[in-house]
Amino acid sequence: MRLLRHLTGRYRTPVANRTLGLLLAFNAGGINAGGFLVVGMYTSHMTGIVSTVGDNLVLGNMALVLGALGTLWAFMSGAGSTAIMVNWARHQHLRSTFALPLLLEAVLMLLFGLMGAITLTWRTPFAVPLTVLLLAYLMGLQNAVITKMSSAEIRTTHMTGICTDIGIELGKALYWNRGGRPAHEQVHVNHKRLRLFASLLSMFMAGGVVGAAGFKYVGFIWVVPLATVLLVLSLPPLAADFDRLGLAWRRRSSRGQ
């Protein structure tokens, strides 16, 4: 319980950030790959979505433009929701600063798992099923959580930056430091960063394999175990806040008597 409280609690450590980042990268990979099998598009990164807007504006396909804009709006709304919850919790001095967005993500994933087949038939004003907007909202919510937790060091829903950083460190490893150079001019590999980014990439890929297999052979209900993990991660700080608020309320009641 103490470990879980540290993973999603208000006060962060590098170890807690890395551990939670790996878990969330696996989750994002699973939702992204599994969601592709369901809706035919990736919802965890917005590069392709923004390109879709430009391409289809030129082609005159306004339905796809509207769908891409809706997906982009949903992703940014998820990130904005995280910012609102985190800042509110900080102002209230809560321990569950980062647990609140994860709790919301877990609840929405449970609903998606239980009602995914139904939401595929619900059309939205953005010319895409509700499922697409929900998945994009979830990914924006999650990416903002770990971004704020780690001061933008760790991202979990898209691998472009991760692959870039891995390439940079590998380039450093291959660079030949000429003899006689001063130490401050030599190029050194940051092995800690390289291990972190390689681990994030591996977890995202593993999540993608498991997610695709889960959606293919089990269906929407497959996301329930993932949602349960997020729920378990978010509960300890929330429970601590409830205990603290309950104690404060009891003290006020005793003073009133």
* CA–CA gap between residue 99 and residue 132 (Å, rounded): 24
* CA–CA gap between residue 159 and residue 23 (Å, rounded): 15
Domain positions in the chain are 2-237
User: Which carries the bigger pLDDT value, residue 47 or residue 121?
Assistant: 47
Question: Which residues pair with residue 80 across a beta bridge?
Answer: none
- Crossing angle for the helix pair 191-217 and 160-174, to the nearest 10 degrees: 140
pTM of the model: 0.84
Cβ-count burial of 208 within 10 angstroms (0-12 exposed, 13-18 middle, 19+ buried)? buried
Examine the pLDDT at 173 and tell me if it is beyond 70: yes
Q: Give the tens place of pLDDT for each residue, 22-72.
A: 999 999 898 888 888 877 788 887 888 888 899 999 998 998 899 889 999
Contact partners, residue 131, CB within 8 Å, separation at least 6? 35, 38, 39, 112, 116, 119, 120, 122
> What pLDDT sits at residue 80?
95
> What pLDDT sits at residue 202?
95
CA atoms within 13 A on the CB side of 198: 11
pLDDT interval class at 257 (50, 70, 90) = low
pLDDT interval class at 75 (50, 70, 90) = very high
CATH no. of 2-237: 1.20.1250
- Which three-class secondary structure state does DSSP give residue 189? coil
Report CA torsion sign: 137, 138, 139, 140.
positive
Contact partners, residue 68, CB within 8 Å, separation at least 6? 49, 50, 52, 53, 56
